[in-house]
Amino acid sequence: MMRSYIKFADTLSTSMGKAFSWCIVILMGGTCYEVVMAYVFNSPTLWNFDFSLQMYGAIFMMAGAYTLSTEAHVRGDVIYRLFPTKVQAWIDLVLYFLFFFPGIIALAFYGYEYAALAWKIKETSWNSPAQIQIYMAKSLIPLSGILLTIQGVSEVFRSIICIQTGHWPARMVSAEETEKILMKKSQKEDETDVI
């Protein structure tokens, strides 16, 4: 049951991360449009600054669960990585309950209230001359909290499995860091040199 939940959470987080990664392309298009309008036609837009902020916000908020599922968050693991895997799992398990869940659950609950109020008053950006609507973007706050909670439960299950078996369950890897790719390539070259 824990492994099937981990697969579900990883699939959901990866799907949402990949879907919202397209905001980067939209953001780039908006920025290119603004540059052309401002410097070629001398007619800058009023809306593009707020549009860029919303795209950056969407990418930042919705990438959290994907980043957690791929272990890409910044962490100070200088000492942590020296511990046996079962000790690492115990540390993760305790820290998720002490620090992660209280903050993320608060993000989901209070983010819902924040977004609901924004929808109720049809909130617009106060610092925008275009008065762009922002209540839809504020809906991403509780949504990201929910996705992080789902992925956090998956990480707790990973820790429990590791405590029981002594091995971390495999992760869905959709992209690998260049450092890891180069390390694997170097190891393969070393193995062929030995033969």
29-35 contacts: CB < 8 A, separation 24 or more?
Answer: 30/55
Residues 50 and 46: their CA atoms lie apart, in Å, by 8
Residue 123: is its pLDDT beyond 60?
Answer: yes
Residue 33: is its pLDDT beyond 70?
Answer: yes
pLDDT digits (tens, 9 = 90+) for 54-67: 889 899 999 999 99
Token pair listed for 126: 């106060």
pLDDT digits (tens, 9 = 90+) for 134-165: 888 899 999 999 999 999 999 999 999 999 99
Residue 48: is its pLDDT beyond 90?
Answer: no
pLDDT bracket for residue 126 (50, 70, 90): confident
pLDDT value, residue 16: 93
pLDDT bracket for residue 176 (50, 70, 90): low
Residue 189: is its pLDDT beyond 90?
Answer: no
| Contact (Cβ atoms closer than 8 angstroms) between residue 104 and residue 145 | yes
| Contact (Cβ atoms closer than 8 angstroms) between residue 98 and residue 39 | no
Residue 11, C-beta contacts closer than 8 angstroms, at least 6 positions apart: 172
Higher-confidence residue: 51 or 28? 28
Residue 78: is its pLDDT beyond 90?
Answer: no
- Min mean pLDDT across 13-22, 84-93, 124-133 is at 124-133
Percentage of the chain surpassing pLDDT 70?
A: 95
pLDDT value, residue 112: 95
Q: How far is CA 102 from CA 135, 140, 142, 155, in A?
A: 25, 19, 14, 15
Residues 146 and 13: their CA atoms lie apart, in Å, by 11
Is the pTM higher than 0.85? The answer reads no
Helices (H), the chain: 2-35, 48-62, 64-69, 85-95, 101-120, 135-138, 140-165, 178-194
Domain ranges of the chain: 2-194
Residue 174: is its pLDDT beyond 60?
Answer: no
